[in-house]
Structure 1
Amino acid sequence: MVGSLHGGATPFDRQAETTGVGALALDYQGERFRAWLYLLAQTDRFDAPLRPFQLKAGVPVPRAPAGRLNLTQPWEYSDVDDRGGLLRTEYDLTDQLTLFADIGGSRGAVERYFQSAPTILNLRGDTTSTPQFYALGVDRLTYDGGLRVRFETGFFHHTVTLQASSYAETTGRWVSPGRGAYLSNLYAPARVAYIAPIDGAGRPRLSDSTLSGISIADTLAALDERVLLTLGVRGQRIEAHNYVSNVGTPTTAYDRSAASPVAGLVVRPWEAVSFYGNYIEGLSRGDLAPTVAKNSGEILAPSVARQVEAGVKLDLGRIGATLAAFRITRPGGELGPQNRFAATGEQRVSGLELNLFGEITPQLRVLGGMTLLDGRLVRTALAANLGHRPIGVPPVQASLGAEWDLPGLTGLTLDGAVIYTGRQFVDLANRQALPDWARLDLGLRYATAIGGRPTTFRANVLNVTGTNYWTGVASFGTFFQGAPRTYLLSMAVDL
């Protein structure tokens, strides 16, 4: 059983949040039958939540404001409640054949009153916001079942999985018209008198979708599992329906099926070295039109994404590394000139990723990585944008973290991390870009025992240098301000 409750002011001006989580996990382990039950409930009450920004067309990105500044008014809020559960079962018919079945569901309710994305009007940082009341209800149901069988053919060991699955989601929503706009500024947020929201009756249906499929996969192992080959295929079907916002009458519908292959190979010529490669396709539900779009909440047509990856892993026990090259091709939605979100785009992202981890000395541990990305628009509604970089894809991302057990001070550990993200565009024309940024985090951890109980004290400072930066770019071009210097203190006791 897990329970947590926290609340109070946050590092951002005017902002307060109270969050509660309760979770229960039960399991049964019999000779042949096994079952797991997970129950979860969580609630969140957020006053003056930070919102992403969008840029007015043609306006360059202004400098980032101080991280603590908050344009959202104290009377703007977000309330979220979620309840869910999952039951998993397995039964061994024989030592080689296992049946499994799972069922789960959740219900979420959201009420929000704020401007989804305030608009930055000029380089001076002037903004305009129009608060809207937004009420959403989402019901989800998923179930699957299948079998796993293990057998030998010659010197190959097979693990075959056959599975059928279904996931259904229904969304109801009410969005009020804007009742009043207010002006503010990134660097000098204004306090504005309360604007009363407009609530509607009920939550008219906005969309529903069902994702179903049957898959079969075989993992072949040979040479004492030094060679692993996985081959599989999924038959997928996606049905989706959209409804008129705030009305609930049907508008558009999609029904698409596809056979999606998957293949993977791992070769381990030496104990510490593995080479791997994989290819996968997947039919996915279309993107959801963001709240800043005229057709907010509409589900776009399903699309097929493709990914190919190859790499090498080195694991020497105390030190390890991975190096991988990949390419992902994914259709997606674009926010057009008329502020309508449509499935007119496709992007291809190629990358090279290096990760390092290990124990340099018994007292010093490191974890770091770097990713180089080359993203390109290969299909777009406007021909002039072909070949441009996709929104929110930086050319480089890097991080380096370390822990050092201080000599002569038993139980005391110093830790730190540096995070870097390169320049990112927020428009398809590649004229508006967020500058690159770096952040330094530092902390201390002290492990001891109090009354025979293991106890750990932690003190952390995030964004030690107080850097002001833009971050969190969404695929449709909105972005967040980075968090300010933040101090964290905590104590954990094993009872």
Structure 2
Amino acid sequence: MNFIEPKLNVLTVAVLTALSFPVFAQTTELSSVQVNASADASAEGLAPEYAGGQVAKGGRVGLLGTQSNMDTPFNLTSYTSKLIQDQQAANVGEVLLNDPAVRVARGFGNFQQVYLVRGLPIFSDDMSYNGLYGLLPRQYLAAELIERVEVLRGANAFLNGAAPGGTGLGGAINVVPKRAPNYDINQATLGIQDGGEAYLAGDFARRFNDGSTGVRATIAKRDGDTNVEGESRELTLFALGADFRSDKLRISADLGYQEHNLQASQPNITIAADEAIPPTPRADRSIAQPWTFSNSEDTFGTVRVEYDFNDTVTAWLAGGIREGVEAGNFANPTVDEPNGDYDANRFANVREDSVQTAEAGLRFKFNTGAVKHTVSTSAMIYELESKNAFNFYDSFSGNIYNPQPVPEPTVVTFPGGSFNSPFVTETSKNSSFAIADSMAFLNEKLLLTLGARHQEIEAMSFNAADGSQSASYSESATTPVAGVVFKINPQYSVYANYIEGLVKGETAPQTANGQAVTNAGTVFKPFKTEQVELGVKYDGGNVGGSVSVFQSEKPSYGIDSTNTFSQIGDQTNEGLEIMAFGKASKTVTVLGGLSVLNTDVDGQDAIGAPSAQANVGLEWSPEQVQGLAFETRAIYTSSQYADAANTQEVPSWTRLDLGVRYVMPVGNDQALTLRARLDNVTDRNYWASAGGFPGSGYLTIGNPRTLTVSASLDF
């Protein structure tokens, strides 16, 4: 497939203009401006790192802006670029392996990353980018583009608006782009992974005009065979971020490009309804057909402007665009015999996405007697036009334990449009208006937030074969929020919240259980979820953490006995989460926690919702050798079900990861960092996840033992 060129429109010009602003700003005399670790178009700036540097002390809380963890009535963890680089994480999914409330699954029929938070999915295209939805690459996001990964656990329709892809009921993920810090960055990294995949990256940053203007550029390339026999992948990316800050005006802009290509990667595997979950195939050998692939290319940009009218009134405006194209050739097996025999169909598709999104807001502060008010208002809009074409081909047979190549099927059994000129198959438009009052009582010991967001969701779906409209709806809903924080003392705060989730209605898939869905393409109305959460947070200066309990309720959709997609019940999630982070001693850093989840879907456990997940990460830096650090991380996931009837139980799994790094000076003001990491030390074969799309319980194979080494030179 020939990837399309990105469209040049008004917003593209705005991004390019903002990115070029630092060049012109050099000719203007400005007062010196002190910049936080990452300058951006927000008065709060980037939340500082917590002790140990693996997480931050706070993060973006949607409409409410950047807040300290101790001040917000929500459950938030912000993972830093230091953690990302030290662990040699290649993508968002690998960063989120550190979170006990999150597990990584796979999209339906493709290789899209799906993040299960509190047992509910967030599609990768429902992540926000500096607060805006829909701008990041739809299937996979490379870690080199990221300054922070912020995970807000729980419903969040008021804070962020409804996620346009129809997920996010269990949480929200916001990606913070890189900015130039107060010092110059000149960093080059070389790496290799066993199997032969090579890695090259560069990161460069400068500040100008007494610190008021910054530019940061990032490039990266990955290419080669992986340690899964028969599998290869390639990644190319470039990102440019710029910011300008004066006493009252702040501007930031980003321009990014990512191309991600996969060849013969491990497919999703469905187990037939009458079969037990079989043993996991060898993880180091791909069962995919050599002619399968998934290619994607995305170009995206954002601009954000913030202006202080005075000490009490601030306004902001942000916008962004994304142009994305995908092409894939898939063959996902359905195992129908205990010995691993399967049937599969070849499925090929192309997709083209155009996204435009914007937000405008106003925040003002005032007092009524002893009560301090911060009132925030926001208006948001999101628009998507998606084109799609697909073909189903003849079926073939194989065995997951003895994979053999077969000729690529060529007889089309179910056509779906033209690959050269696909029709529009989906349009959607989300718009909303929100207002909140954050009040501080008792000398800011008691914090109360009240607000509401009115959301309108419009969606239309079209037939891929001829472009004719097949379904549409236009609905609106108002979602309230109430949150309270009481600071017992500087170390402890307790919080509670009531908040709702809202997503667009589900769209019936084309196929399920190896057969055509009877109402394929039908779009259902939006639905809400309701969440109540209570918790306590601790900040001891060097060690912090939280304990929280929650309950949420939502309708559940899936495939019924007639292979029709519909609402099949209601789901209630109840859970306990314990988080810990920081420096346990002068030489030991800790990061991890425990998540206990109970799900109920009409008396059964939800698909792909383990009852317990635990992470323990430790880093030891011996005092005797300066610059040396050892890492270890254990990940545990309890058993889960792959079917709604709870007859197919996926076994629990535990994974051990080890790492080491050494930083040594090289010449004057230069440093060389050597890193080595061994993931899945015991080389365990395991089913990493079940499901990720409503009503489906397909399985994914966990990665085999993987050795990654790299060297970063700061010069």
TM-score computed with the length of structure 2 as normaliser: 0.66
Residues 532 and 551, structure 2, Cα contact 8 Å, conserved in 1: yes
1:455 aligns with 2:657: no
1:129 aligns with 2:334: no
Distance 1:449 1:471, change over 3 A: same
Cα distance in structure 2, aligned partners of 1:338 and 1:481: 29
Equivalent position of 2:560 in the other structure:
336
Distance 1:297 1:470, change over 3 A: farther
Residues 323 and 354, structure 1, Cα contact 8 Å, conserved in 2: yes
Report the Cα offset of residue 287 of structure 1: 3.0
Equivalent position of 1:481 in the other structure:
701
Cα distance in structure 2, aligned partners of 1:126 and 1:451: 60
Equivalent position of 1:366 in the other structure:
590
Distance 1:237 1:405, change over 3 A: same
The one-letter code sitting in structure 2 at the alignment partner of 1:442 is L
Once the two structures are superposed, the pairs formed by residues 287-306 of structure 1 within 5 Å of their partners are 287-290=506-509, 292-293=511-512, 294=517, 299-306=523-530
Q: After superposition, give the CA deviation of every residue in 1:79-122 in whole Å (9 maximum; x if it has no partner).
A: 1011111111112222211111111111111100112x321112
Report the Cα offset of residue 200 of structure 1: 3.6
Cα distance in structure 1, aligned partners of 2:521 and 2:550: 31
Equivalent position of 1:155 in the other structure:
370
Distance 1:135 1:2, change over 3 A: same
Cα distance in structure 2, aligned partners of 1:5 and 1:197: 37
Equivalent position of 2:687 in the other structure:
470
Equivalent position of 1:400 in the other structure:
616
Report the Cα offset of residue 292 of structure 1: 4.1
Residues 325 and 353, structure 2, Cα contact 8 Å, conserved in 1: yes
Cα distance in structure 2, aligned partners of 1:127 and 1:32: 64
Residues 318 and 359, structure 1, Cα contact 8 Å, conserved in 2: yes
Q: 1:193 aligns with which of 389, 402, 407?
A: 407
The one-letter code sitting in structure 2 at the alignment partner of 1:183 is S
Cα distance in structure 2, aligned partners of 1:473 and 1:291: 20
Equivalent position of 1:383 in the other structure:
none
Distance 1:56 1:436, change over 3 A: same
Equivalent position of 1:409 in the other structure:
625
Cα distance in structure 1, aligned partners of 2:411 and 2:222: 28
Equivalent position of 1:382 in the other structure:
none
Cα distance in structure 2, aligned partners of 1:445 and 1:47: 31
Equivalent position of 1:276 in the other structure:
495
Report the Cα offset of residue 349 of structure 1: 0.6
The one-letter code sitting in structure 1 at the alignment partner of 2:685 is N
Distance 1:292 1:408, change over 3 A: farther
Q: 1:228 aligns with which of 422, 447, 450?
A: 447
Unmatched tracts of structure 1, length 5 or more: 378-385
Unmatched tracts of structure 2, length 5 or more: 1-216, 413-417
Report the Cα offset of residue 358 of structure 1: 3.3
Q: After superposition, give the CA deviation of every residue in 1:375-412 in whole Å (9 maximum; x if it has no partner).
A: 001xxxxxxxx210010111111111101123533222
Q: After superposition, give the CA deviation of every residue in 1:144-175 in whole Å (9 maximum; x if it has no partner).
A: 11211011111111111111111111211101
SS at match of 2:407: coil
Equivalent position of 1:494 in the other structure:
714
Residues 133 and 197, structure 1, Cα contact 8 Å, conserved in 2: no
Distance 1:490 1:287, change over 3 A: farther
The one-letter code sitting in structure 1 at the alignment partner of 2:283 is G
The one-letter code sitting in structure 1 at the alignment partner of 2:477 is A
Residues 144 and 165, structure 1, Cα contact 8 Å, conserved in 2: yes
1:93 aligns with 2:309: yes
Q: 1:58 aligns with which of 261, 274, 280?
A: 274
Report the Cα offset of residue 345 of structure 1: 3.4
1:105 aligns with 2:321: yes
Cα distance in structure 2, aligned partners of 1:132 and 1:412: 49
Q: 1:9 aligns with which of 220, 225, 229?
A: 225
1:165 aligns with 2:380: yes
Distance 1:69 1:297, change over 3 A: farther
Report the Cα offset of residue 368 of structure 1: 2.0
Q: How many correspondences in the alignment?
A: 485
Cα distance in structure 1, aligned partners of 2:327 and 2:521: 15
Distance 1:444 1:94, change over 3 A: same
SS at match of 1:408: coil
Report the Cα offset of residue 11 of structure 1: 1.9
Equivalent position of 1:381 in the other structure:
none
Cα distance in structure 2, aligned partners of 1:123 and 1:240: 43
Greater strand proportion: 1
1:237 aligns with 2:456: yes
Cα distance in structure 2, aligned partners of 1:358 and 1:91: 35
Cα distance in structure 2, aligned partners of 1:134 and 1:337: 27
Equivalent position of 1:380 in the other structure:
none
Report the Cα offset of residue 193 of structure 1: 2.5
Cα distance in structure 1, aligned partners of 2:556 and 2:251: 39
Distance 1:211 1:343, change over 3 A: farther
SS at match of 1:286: coil
Which stretch shows the higher mean deviation, 195-204 or 278-287?
195-204
SS at match of 1:177: strand
Cα distance in structure 1, aligned partners of 2:227 and 2:554: 37
Cα distance in structure 1, aligned partners of 2:572 and 2:612: 16
Equivalent position of 2:398 in the other structure:
184
Cα distance in structure 2, aligned partners of 1:374 and 1:158: 38
Greater helix proportion: 2
Report the Cα offset of residue 195 of structure 1: 3.7
Cα distance in structure 2, aligned partners of 1:483 and 1:282: 33
Which stretch shows the higher mean deviation, 283-292 or 358-367?
283-292
Cα distance in structure 1, aligned partners of 2:618 and 2:328: 40
Equivalent position of 2:135 in the other structure:
none
The one-letter code sitting in structure 1 at the alignment partner of 2:488 is P
Q: After superposition, give the CA deviation of every residue in 1:328-367 in whole Å (9 maximum; x if it has no partner).
A: 2122321223333323332111000111223232112222
Distance 1:262 1:446, change over 3 A: same
Report the Cα offset of residue 290 of structure 1: 4.6
Residues 471 and 521, structure 2, Cα contact 8 Å, conserved in 1: no
Give the superposed CA RMSD: 1.7
Residues 109 and 135, structure 1, Cα contact 8 Å, conserved in 2: yes
Residues 103 and 143, structure 1, Cα contact 8 Å, conserved in 2: yes
Cα distance in structure 1, aligned partners of 2:521 and 2:325: 15
Report the Cα offset of residue 196 of structure 1: 4.7
Residues 207 and 297, structure 1, Cα contact 8 Å, conserved in 2: no
